[in-house]
A and B are shown apart, each in its own frame.
Chain A
Amino acid sequence: MSAPPPPRPSVTNAARASSGRYSAWRLLREGLTGQRGWARAWTKATPRQRYRVVIVGGGGHGLATAFYLATQYGITDVAVLEKGPIGLGNVGRNTTLIRSNYFHPDNIRFYDFSLKLWEGLEQRLNFNAMVSQRGTLNLFHTEAQRDLFTRRANQMRLLGVDAQAVTREEVQALVPLVDLDNGRYPVLGGFLQPRGGTVRHDAVAWGYARAASEAGVNIIEHCEVTGIRREGDRVTGVYSTRGFIAADTVCLAVAGHSSHLARMAGLTLPIETHVLQAFVTEGIKPVLDVVLTYGVGHFYVSQSDKGGLVFGGAIDGYNTYGQRGTLPMAEEVTASGMTLLPGLARLRVLRQWGGVMDMTMDGSPIISKTPLTGLILNGGWCYGGFKAIPAGGLTTAHLIAHGSPHPLASHLDLGRFAAGRTVDERGVGPFPYLH
């Protein structure tokens, strides 16, 4: 890939309908004029025959990659191909948490970069994504766990990231719902990342789609990729349900189905597909104003702006493409939740759903060139893809534009497995079902 042209401001094609700038003034004006001035948030593009960059997957990472390519790296000849409508994949199925409280220094730097991008995202996209930095509180229940969390918090603080120890009494004050003496696993304390929180996930997809479209990116919905054209070791385009589309660079951003797409190009990846479930209860008055995680079972919970408690746990534990989730894990997650928050028993679960995800062999994502020229992979997000959307998109755009990895994502290359540089947060080895 040649050197990119210098960054330039986004160019809006006058022939396309612009959705205009969103503001309180605009809301008021539209309210007084019958809401007739709103245009589509993004243009429903029809595919051209060739693009400089084709991104497969119109989820969070695909749309963010397109947005940063167009606005930060000056490449607007970009198409995003999405099998269905924007926003119905994993970007709309996660539990909406953002945080950077990781263990591995390279991961802390990467995810904190993402958190910083979240902090300015709404202004940059001119879209209300309801970024709410309400704090992420991880509880610990044993002395050993306290040591581990302290080490993790210290590592974060050494890298300039916020983390603070919270006593048992402070936990009680922060979350009165918690049963501190829950029989077998009394809460000894916690560790809080005040900048962690939640974001409205649908708005992230819509916001990036709108801003990318305004910057000249073609967003093509209902366009499923059915094959990848290879000429020797070079990828030259994709076959789709709307015809062949040529491209200098093809970027896969289809976490959950990366193996499937990579196989079309003849590659086998260090990835298995697993399902993660999420749950939401009926709406209640505000009772929980942090994101809370349990240190014994795998359980995390936050309260949505509509009042429902949104919670989830671990992956179901065996390979599956079934986007539904199974009952044994649903029982385990709700049992964990009720041990920690006995009041949860009084609530009805309104909805339960599953999303399938790429689980890598070390539990960390992949943003990398591949053995094929012109094929870039953004995938392997395990169950941490949502919080990484801004950083994942920006670093993938950097890789496409410059042909070399962004310094904050260079540890996420595909070559790390063969080279013995795996980034294994939990230290469990090459077993995706344990990550």
Chain B
Amino acid sequence: MLRIPCPWCGERDESEFRYRGDASRVRPDAEAGVAAFNAYVYERDNPCGWHQEWWLHVGGCRKLLKVLRHTVSHEIGSVAAAGEALALPAEVDR
């Protein structure tokens, strides 16, 4: 059971949130070509460790959050608003 500390609502149960996937992918320039868009849409680092991901607080403030979570222990490392940068541990590839 995850407890996600929402910057607006405080710590809440995971059942209030909807998972929205990998938050580390950055949309390429419109003219970047098929390979760049294939990587953006389909390819995932899928780390066994710290993972940056989107969570939508549907049962609360309805804001989209960026969350750093460990994919083995499920520990939540840090949480930020969608437009902000996450505090990342040193071992995470950017």
Binding site for B on A (CB under 8 A): 259-260, 268-273, 317-322, 326-328, 361, 417-418, 430-433
Also in contact, A328 and B14, with CB within 8 A (given A319-B71, A418-B35): yes
Q: Which parts of B48-90 form the interface with A (CB within 8 Å)?
A: 48, 51, 53, 69, 71-74
- Let me know if A259 and B46 touch, CB within 8 A: yes
Of A259, A318, A322, the contact of B45 (CB 8 Å cutoff): A259
Binding site for A on B (CB under 8 A): 1-2, 14-15, 19, 21-22, 34-35, 38-39, 41-46, 48, 51, 53, 69, 71-74
**Distance (whole angstroms) from the CB of B47 to the closest CB of chain A:** 8
**Distance (whole angstroms) from the CB of B46 to the closest CB of chain A:** 4
Q: Give the complex CA separation of A361 and B44 in angstroms.
A: 9
- Let me know if A268 and B71 touch, CB within 8 A: no
- Let me know if B72 and A320 touch, CB within 8 A: yes
- Let me know if A268 and B19 touch, CB within 8 A: no
- Let me know if B1 and A269 touch, CB within 8 A: no
Q: Sorted from nearest, which 4 A-B pairs have the closest CB atoms? A: A259-B46, A270-B42, A418-B38, A417-B42
**Distance (whole angstroms) from the CB of B37 to the closest CB of chain A:** 8
- Let me know if B21 and A431 touch, CB within 8 A: yes
Also in contact, A321 and B53, with CB within 8 A (given A268-B43, A433-B21): no
Q: A270-B42, A320-B72, A322-B73 are in contact. List 20 more A-B contacts (CB 8 A).
A: A259-B45, A268-B39, A269-B44, A270-B43, A273-B46, A317-B19, A318-B53, A318-B69, A320-B71, A320-B74, A321-B48, A322-B71, A322-B72, A326-B74, A327-B1, A328-B1, A328-B14, A418-B34, A430-B41, A431-B21
- Let me know if B46 and A328 touch, CB within 8 A: no
- Let me know if A326 and B1 touch, CB within 8 A: yes
Of B15, B48, B72, the contact of A328 (CB 8 Å cutoff): B15
- By a CB distance below 8 angstroms, the chain B residues around A268 are 39, 43-45
- By a CB distance below 8 angstroms, the chain A residues around B71 are 273, 319-322
Of B35, B38, B45, B72, the contact of A321 (CB 8 Å cutoff): B72
- Let me know if A319 and B53 touch, CB within 8 A: yes
- Let me know if B19 and A433 touch, CB within 8 A: yes
- By a CB distance below 8 angstroms, the chain A residues around B43 are 268-270
Q: Give the complex CA separation of A430 and B21 in angstroms.
A: 10
**Distance (whole angstroms) from the CB of B77 to the closest CB of chain A:** 14
- By a CB distance below 8 angstroms, the chain B residues around A259 are 44-46
Q: Give the complex CA separation of A338 and B42 in angstroms.
A: 37
**Distance (whole angstroms) from the CB of A217 to the closest CB of chain B:** 29
A267: nearest chain-B partner, CB-CB: B43
